[in-house]
C-alpha cells in the first residue's frame, strides 16, 4: 500500500483516537480531520505551534512512520526513529557491523556505478551531454578509488541546468534550495527504510563522518538522487518563481516518496522501492546476495 506524506505548515493539535490521527485547528470554524495511522508514511512538521500527544507519537513509531521536524529555515532537521525497527534487529545489526572491508568496497562500487548511470540517463532525457557519464559508470572500481563519483557529479551539474553561475552548493543560488529540501525528504525516506530493515542508519559503507547520524542513509540514497533532480528540473522548467521555498514548491517536493521509479523491471513508488533496496542491502550483509537492488532512471 502506498503510504501518505502529511505536511503541517500551520498551527495544529495532533492526537489519536480509534487508530486515527486526529487533526484539530485553533480556529473554531474548522472541523477536526482524521487520517488512518496505518496510511501515514511520513509526517512533516514545520510550524513551531504544532502540538502532538505522546500517544500519537507512539502509534506513529509503531507503524514505522517517519516523523520529520523542520528548523527555522523550514528545512527538515530531525527524524524520529524507533529503537526497535525489526523483529530480527539484533542479528541484522550484527551482520551489518561485521561486514568485511572488501564487501563494503564492492557495495560502494555498485552504488556509485548505479548513481552515475542514473545521472547519465537523466542528462540523456534532457538532451544534454551524457556520453562521459555512461563511460564512467562502467569504469568505477572497488571502493571507487579513482573518485568517479565526484568527477561525474561535476560534469553532471555543469550540464544539467542552463542557469548562469549555478553550482551545486548547499547555500548556493536556486534551485539549490529545492534540491536541499528534496534530498532531506529522500534522506528521511531512506533512514526509515533502513530502520524497517533492521539496520543502523549511522553506520555507513562509505560515509564515515563521526558527526553524521545517517551515514548509511547518505550512502544508499545516492542512486535515488537523480529522481529528485528530475522533479526539481520539471519545477524549474515551469518558470515558477523558485527564489523562496513556498508552500506550492514544498507540496511538489513532498511527492518524492510516491514518485514512480523502475526497479527490477517494474514500476514502484519510491518509498516501496527504497524498502526493496534496503532489504537487498541486508541480504548482502548476511551473505545471501552480492548485489544491491537499485532503481533505474527511465
Architecture (CATH level 2) of domain 89-286: Up-down Bundle (1.20)
User: Are the C-beta atoms of 270 and 257 separated by less than 8 Å?
Assistant: yes
Read off the pLDDT of residues 107-121 as tens digits, 9 standing for 90 and up.
999 999 999 999 999
Burial of 216 per CB tally in 10 Å (0-12, 13-18, 19+): buried
DSSP 8-state assignment for residue 5: E
Distance CA 100, CA 290 (A): 13
Q: Which helix (H) or strand (E) holds 252?
A: helix 247-253
pLDDT value at 269 more than 80 = yes
Distance CA 244, CA 267 (A): 33
Read off the pLDDT of residues 121-141 as tens digits, 9 standing for 90 and up.
999 999 998 999 999 999 999
Question: Nearest-CA neighbor of 276 among 202, 206, 203, 189?
Answer: 189
SS3 271: helix
Q: Where in the chain is the domain with CATH 3.100.10.20?
A: 4-80
For position 8, what pLDDT does the model report?
Answer: 93
For position 127, what pLDDT does the model report?
Answer: 96
The edge-to-edge listing of strands for the beta sheet with 20-24 is 33-36, 20-24, 12-17, 50-52
pLDDT value at 2 more than 80 = no
- In 76-192, at which residue ranges do the beta strands (DSSP E only) sit? 76-80
User: Are the C-beta atoms of 194 and 201 separated by less than 8 Å?
Assistant: yes
Read off the pLDDT of residues 211-260 as tens digits, 9 standing for 90 and up.
888 999 999 999 999 999 999 999 999 999 999 999 999 999 999 999 99
> What percent of the chain stands above pLDDT 90?
81
Whole-prediction pTM: 0.91
Averaged pLDDT of the chain: 93
- Per the annotation, where are the binding residues for Mn(2+)? 149, 207, 222
User: Are the C-beta atoms of 102 and 212 separated by less than 8 Å?
Assistant: no
Grid coordinates given for 186: 529522500
66-79 per-residue burial string, b: 16 or more CB within 10 A, e: under 16: bbbebeeebebeeb
Q: Which helix (H) or strand (E) holds 237?
A: helix 225-237
Q: Looking at domain 4-80, does it have CATH number 3.100.10.20?
A: yes
The Cα-based distances of 50 to 69, 202, 218, 243 in angstroms read 10, 28, 29, 26
Q: Where in the chain is the domain with CATH 1.20.120.920?
A: 89-286
Read off the pLDDT of residues 5-63 as tens digits, 9 standing for 90 and up.
999 998 999 999 999 999 998 876 778 999 999 999 999 999 999 999 999 999 999 88
Amino acid at each position: 500500500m502506498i503510504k501518505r506524506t502529511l505536511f503541517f505548515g500551520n498551527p495544529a493539535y495532533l492526537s489519536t483516537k480509534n487508530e486515527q490521527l486526529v487533526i484539530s485547528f485553533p480556529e473554531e470554524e474548522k472541523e477536526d480531520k482524521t487520517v488512518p495511522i496505518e496510511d501515514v508514511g511520513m509526517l512533516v512538521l514545520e510550524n513551531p505551534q504544532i502540538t502532538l500527544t505522546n500517544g500519537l507519537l507512539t502509534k506513529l513509531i509503531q507503524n514505522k512512520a517517519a516523523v520529520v521536524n523542520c528548523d527555522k529555515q523550514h528545512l527538515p532537521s530531525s527524524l524520529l526513529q524507533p529503537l526497535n525497527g525489526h523483529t530480527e534487529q539484533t542479528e541484522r545489526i550484527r551482520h551489518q557491523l561485521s561486514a568485511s572491508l572488501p564487501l563494503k568496497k564492492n557495495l560502494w562500487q555498485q552504488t556509485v556505478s548505479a548513481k552515475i548511470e542514473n545521472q547519465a540517463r537523466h542528462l540523456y532525457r534532457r538532451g544534454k551531454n551524457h556520453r562521459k557519464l555512461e563511460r564512467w559508470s562502467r569504469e568505477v572500481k572497488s571502493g571507487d578509488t579513482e573518485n568517479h563519483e565526484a568527477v561525474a557529479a561535476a560534469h553532471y551539474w555543469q550540464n544539467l541546468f542552463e542557469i548562469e553561475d549555478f553550482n551545486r552548493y548547499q547555500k548556493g543560488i536556486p534551485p539549490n534550495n529545492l534540491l536541499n529540501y528534496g534530498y532531506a525528504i529522500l534522506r528521511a525516506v531512506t533512514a526509515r527504510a533502513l530502520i524497517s530493515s533492521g539496520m543502523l542508519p549511522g553506520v555507513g559503507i562509505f560515509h564515515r563522518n563521526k558527526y553524521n547520524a545517517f551515514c548509511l542513509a547518505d550512502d544508499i540514497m545516492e542512486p535515488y538522487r537523480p529522481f529528485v533532480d528530475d522533479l526539481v528540473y520539471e519545477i524549474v522548467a515551469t518558470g515558477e518563481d523558485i527564489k523562496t521555498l513556498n508552500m506550492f514548491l514544498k507540496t511538489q517536493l513532498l511527492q518524492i516518496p510516491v514518485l514512480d521509479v523502475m526497479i527490477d523491471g517494474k514500476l514502484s513508488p519510491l518509498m516501496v522501492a527504497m524498502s526493496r533496496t534496503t532489504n537487498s542491502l541486508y541480504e548482502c550483509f548476511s551473505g545471501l546476495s552480492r548485489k544491491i537492488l537499485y532503481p533505474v532512471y527511465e
